[in-house]
Amino acid sequence: MGYDVNCYENLILSSDFFKNLEFFKEVFKNDAVFRCRTVTCGGKNAAILFMDGMTSSADINEGILKPLLSFKKIKSPVTEFLYKNVIFCGETVKENKITELLRGILYGDTVLITEDENALIINTKGFKMRSVEEPKDERVLSGPREGFTESALTNTALLKRKLVTADLYFELMHIGRRTDTKIFICYLNSLVNKKILKNVKKRLKGIDIDGILDSNYITELISDNPYSMFKTVGTTERPDIVAARLLEGRIAIIVDGTPVALTLPYLFCENFQSDDDYYLNYFLGSFTRVLRYICFFLAITVPALFISLLNYYPALLPTAFVISASAARAGIPFPTFSEALVLIFVFEILKESGIRMPQSLGHALSIVGGLVVGQAAVDARLVSAPILIGVALSGICGLMIPRLKGFIFYSKLGLTLLSSALGLYGFFLGMTLITAFILNLNSYSADFTYDLKSLEIHSFKDVFVRAPFFKMITRPFNLTKNKIRIKLSKNNKKLNEELNDRLDKPEKD
C-alpha cells in the first residue's frame, strides 16, 4: 500500500461491496482512529467510513445513520437512490475514484459505500478550529479586526465576504506526497494577468515534496530569487489586505493549515505600506509612510556612517561633537568597529529573546536589557555612549519596517564592515551594491521597483505617500490591463482629462 493517495489515482471502485470494504480496511489497518460501520438498508449492504475526531457525530447520526436505518425498500441503483432520497446532509458528492474517496475520509468527510460502483462523499467535518481573531503582528488602529485561521475553507469564506462577486475564482490543488495539502489559488478573473497566473500554476505543479506544513514552504519553492534577502512573495494574515491586492490584479495563495496567505507579484513599496495608511486620514497615512522610508535609511546606515565619519573624516563633523565623542571614548579598550559589531548582535539577541519568551517576561527583558545592561556597559567603560545611542537608534528604526528585518540586519552589518575598512568609500560602495541589487529584482515578470523607476505621476500616488482615494483613479499599470479603479463623474473635467492623458500613453511591458 502506498503512502501517497495519488498512488491510487488509476483505481476505481468495483461492484463487489465486500471487496471494496476490505480494500479500505487494509489501507487504514494501522490507523487507530479509522471507523467503519456496516448497516443493512432496505435489504442492501452499506458501510460508512470516517475518521473519529475529525467528523461531527451529530451529522453522522442524524444525517446518515438514522435515515439509512429507517428505509425499508431501496431501488437500484442504490447509490443514486440514497443520494436523491435518503441522505440528509447538505453537501454530498457521488464519486468512484479511490483517490478522491481517500481524500474525503482523511479530511473529515464520511464515505458511504454500497453494492454498486459509486460511493458518496458526505460533508461531516467536525474538527476543532481556532476562532477568527485579529492577527497579533498586524494590528491596526482602525479597520477590520478579523484575520485568517488555519482552516483554508474558513479563509476562503472570509475572502468571499470581502469580495462579493462571481469574478472571484478559487482553484484547488494538492501538494505534498504525504501531507496532500490543499492549496487554493485566488484571483479576480477580469483583472488578473493571465501570463503571471499561468506561470504561478506551472511552478506550483512542479513542486514535488513530502509535505507542506506552512506557506513559507511554497514561498521558497516558487520564488523568483530564492537566495535573495528580499522576499518577492508577499505574506499576510489579514483578509482585507488580500482583497486589496486582488483588486489590483494580483494573485493570492491560501495554504491549508496556516493563517499566512501569499500574494504575488510583490513590489518593493509594499514593505512600507500599512493598513492604517488606508483606514486613517491620508495626511496621517502619508506622514507615517514617509517616516518608514526615513527609518529604513537610518536603520541600515547610522552605525556605518558614525564609524566612517568619526574614524576617517572627523573634520566633516561639528567640532563640539567630535570633542564630546572623543571624551566619551576615553578609556574604552575596544575600537569603534568592535563596539558597533558587538552592540548590533546584542540588540538582535535582545529583540529575538523578547519575541520568543512568554509575553509577561518579554517586556521585563526589554527594560532590563535596554536600560540596565546598556547603562552598566557604559559605566564600566566597555562601550561608549555615542556608539550605543547610534546602534540603538538604528535598531529602533528597523522595528518600523518588520517586513525587512532580515535585509536590514545583513545590510547594516555589511555597510558597517565596509565603512570600517574603507571609510566613506566603503559606505558608498555598499549603498551602490544595495541599490543595484534592489533595482534588478523581479517578482513574477513584474519589476520589483517599477513604481520607483517610473516617471509617471500616477505611479507615486501610493508609494512615498498615500494619495486620497479620489485621486487614485487607476490601478498599477504593470499588474493588470484593466486600468480604471474609480468610475469618474462626467462633470469632473479635470479628473477625466487626467485619466485620458494616462490611458493615451502606451503601456510598458
Per-residue model confidence (pLDDT) at position 501? 57
Predicted pLDDT at 506: 47
pLDDT at res. 371: 59
Distance between CA atoms of residues 449 and 158, nearest Å: 31
Whether residue 110 contacts residue 124, with contact meaning beta carbons closer than 8 Å, is answered with yes
Distance between CA atoms of 300 and 267, rounded to whole angstroms?
A: 20
- Between CA 69 and CA 43 the distance in angstroms is 10
Q: List all residues 6 or more positions away from 247 whose beta carbon is below 8 Å from its beta carbon.
A: 163, 188, 191, 475, 485
Structure confidence at residue 367 (pLDDT): 56
Q: Beta-carbon neighbour count of residue 272 at 10 Å? A: 21
DSSP 8-state symbol, 178: T
Asked if 30 and 89 count as a contact pair (C-beta separation under 8 A), the reply is no
Q: Of 255, 223, 222, which is closest to residue 236 (Cα–Cα)?
A: 255
**Predicted model pTM:** 0.83
Residue 509: the pLDDT is 41
Largest CA distance in the chain: 102
Q: How far apart are the first and last CA of the chain?
A: 51
Give which of 123, 116, 104 is closest to 34, Cα–Cα. 104
* Closest C-alpha to 79, from 45, 130, 127, 37: 45
Q: Which amino acid is at 251?
A: I
pLDDT in tens, the chain (509 residues): 455 677 777 788 888 888 888 898 888 888 888 989 888 887 888 889 999 888 888 888 888 888 888 877 777 788 888 888 888 887 888 888 888 888 888 888 999 998 888 889 988 888 777 888 888 888 888 888 889 998 888 899 999 999 988 889 999 999 988 888 999 999 998 888 888 899 899 999 989 888 899 888 898 888 887 777 788 888 999 999 999 999 988 999 999 989 999 998 888 888 888 888 888 888 888 888 889 999 999 999 999 998 888 888 888 888 888 888 788 777 777 788 888 888 888 888 877 777 777 665 655 566 556 656 777 777 777 777 888 888 888 888 888 888 888 889 999 999 999 998 888 899 999 999 998 888 888 887 777 777 776 666 666 777 888 888 777 777 776 677 777 777 655 545 555 555 555 544 544 44
- CA 298 vs CA 21, 189, 305, 384: distances in Å: 67, 41, 10, 20
Instruction: Name every residue whose Cβ is closer than 8 Å to that of residue 190 and which is 6 or more positions away in sequence.
Output: 167, 482
Nearest to 439 by CA among 448, 429, 451: 448
Task: Please give the backbone phi and psi of residue 507, each rounded to the nearest 5 degrees, phi first.
Answer: -75, 135
Distance in angstroms (rounded) separating the CA atoms of residues 418 and 430: 7
In terms of residues, how long is the chain? 509
Angle at CA of residue 453, ends 481 and 266, nearest 5°: 60
Instruction: Give the C-alpha separation, 72 to 41, whole Å.
Output: 7
Phi/psi for 128 (5° steps) reads -75, 140
Residue position matching grid coordinates 443514486: 80
- What per-residue confidence (pLDDT) applies to 507? 45
Encode burial over 438-466: b for 16+ CB neighbours within 10 A, e otherwise: eeebebbebbbbbbbebeeebbebbbeeb
Strand partners, 46: 39
